[in-house]
Amino acid sequence: MNGASALQLVTPEPAPAPSGELEQRLGIAVADATAAISAGCLEWMNGGLTAPTKARGGEKIANLYWLFQEASGLDFFVIARSQGRRVLLERLGADAHEPTIDVLVDGVIEILTKVTAFMRATAH
């Protein structure tokens, strides 16, 4: 069974509405970072990433990192994924394509995972 087949076997459950203010902020931050990174990918595919778009993506990932620092005791990455997905589905409405949203949100989570690992490795 390849990865695509395996993904088709799993139907993601809708994320519950956020129970706390931090979860709500996290969902918005993941959705914002996903939009910024997606815009950067589109620019890159169409001739080159501009400095403002690159800076916006970096800023949105940095915002997520600071939320990660604030969220001790939470299952951060699980909540980030589910709440970010929920916000994007709300924002996009009928235009939402869930498999694409899942891939994009997972990409943002992967970037954030690398940033947090780097920050831990370089902390004094």
3-state secondary structure 51-99: HHHHHHHHHHHHHHHHHHHHCCCCCHHHHHHHHHHHHHHHHHHHHCCHH
Mean pLDDT of the chain: 86
Q: Specify the pLDDT at position 10.
A: 44
Better-predicted residue by pLDDT, 27 or 12: 27
Give the tens place of pLDDT for each residue, 80-107. 999 999 999 999 999 999 999 999 999 9
pLDDT interval class at 11 (50, 70, 90): very low
pLDDT interval class at 2 (50, 70, 90): very low
At residue 122, does pLDDT exceed 50? yes
